[in-house]
Amino acid sequence: MPIVTFSALPARQLFPGAAGHYAHTAHLTVGEVDLAAGATVPPHAHPHEQLSYLLAGRAECTIGTETRELTPGMCAVIPGAVVHSFRALTACRVLDIFTPVREDFR
């Protein structure tokens, strides 16, 4: 039965202080990402649509030219090809969802 426990998957180091556990399904990639306080995901873009749902902590998300603070239960919607970045204001955990699959993360 297809049940994923993210913490049991190998971690992928993304940037200093930022590592994620990723699972891939038919059409989705989902990752539980932990960021240390102050860690940043620098501006980047990809063709995949992305949702970033804050599970714990506080973070700042910039999409295009706008920056907003996220607290748990808030979700950033990042359309494909739009430049975005992320900064952990405290240690935080984020659930990142991509479609289509991030083949580069397999």
Interacting residue ranges for a copy of itself, rule: CB under 8 A? 1-7, 23, 25-28, 30, 32, 49, 51, 53, 55, 61, 63-64, 66, 68, 70, 73-80, 95, 97, 99
Which is closer to a copy of itself, CB of 11 or CB of 97? 97
Which is closer to a copy of itself, CB of 39 or CB of 70? 70
Smallest separation, CB 26 to a copy of itself (Å):
6
- Please name every residue paired with 98 in a beta bridge, in sequence order, or none if there are none: 29, 50
**46, 29 Cβ separation under 8 angstroms:** no
Smallest separation, CB 78 to a copy of itself (Å):
8
- 91 contact partners, CB below 8 Å, separation of at least 6: 34, 35, 36, 37, 56, 57
Q: What is the DSSP letter of 11?
A: P
